[in-house]
Amino acid sequence: MYYYHYPYPPYPQPPAYPGYYFYPPVTRQYPQVDVNVFSKSIKTYRLLMDQGSILLDRLGDEGFDVKLMTFAQAGNKTEVDKLIKTIGLKVPVETKYTPTGITFELTTHADPSSPMSCCTLSVHMKWGN
């Protein structure tokens, strides 16, 4: 004989957590929004975009590309950095490269009032398989 248990109990079950009730969410008061820092970051990022455009224009020169890739292939980071400095960008540039690509990180100068720079523009480009 097989016993088939009916899935519903014959009488209502007590709640699993009898003392638990639903409480409505607490409404919070947030401070007034201050957009001064954000506006300053937007203006600074426009400078980074302009400098990135100058970088890309210079990278479009085939003779410059050959020198850059030759120094990078040889692992000569100092020469790569010197070559990037000859572009004359107004912001610091950190260059990282692998056999398959190169990354340029353009950062803003740190403001004396804040220890960190507000913005960073990363340019990733592929140059190999």
DSSP 70-123: HHHHTT-HHHHHHHHHTT--SS-EEEEE-SSEEEEEEEPPPPTTSSS-S-EEEE
- DSSP track, 37-75: HHHHHHHHHHHHHHHHHHHHHHHT-HHHHHHHHHHHHTT
Residue 113 lies in a domain: yes
Residue 21 lies in a domain: no
| Residue 10: pLDDT band with limits 50, 70, 90 | low
Residue 67 lies in a domain: yes
pLDDT at residue number 74 = 92
pLDDT at residue number 118 = 84
Mean pLDDT of the chain: 85
H-helix or E-strand containing 124?
A: strand 120-126
H-helix or E-strand containing 126?
A: strand 120-126
Sign of CA dihedral 123, 87, 43, 96: positive
If you search the block for the tokens 């409480």, which residue do you land on?
A: 23
Q: How many domains does the chain have?
A: 1
Supply the range of the domain harboring residue 41.
Answer: 36-126
Distance from C-alpha of 124 to C-alpha of 65, rounded to nearest angstrom = 15
Residue 8 lies in a domain: no
| Residue 59: pLDDT band with limits 50, 70, 90 | very high
Q: Answer with the residue of higher pLDDT: 8 or 107.
A: 107
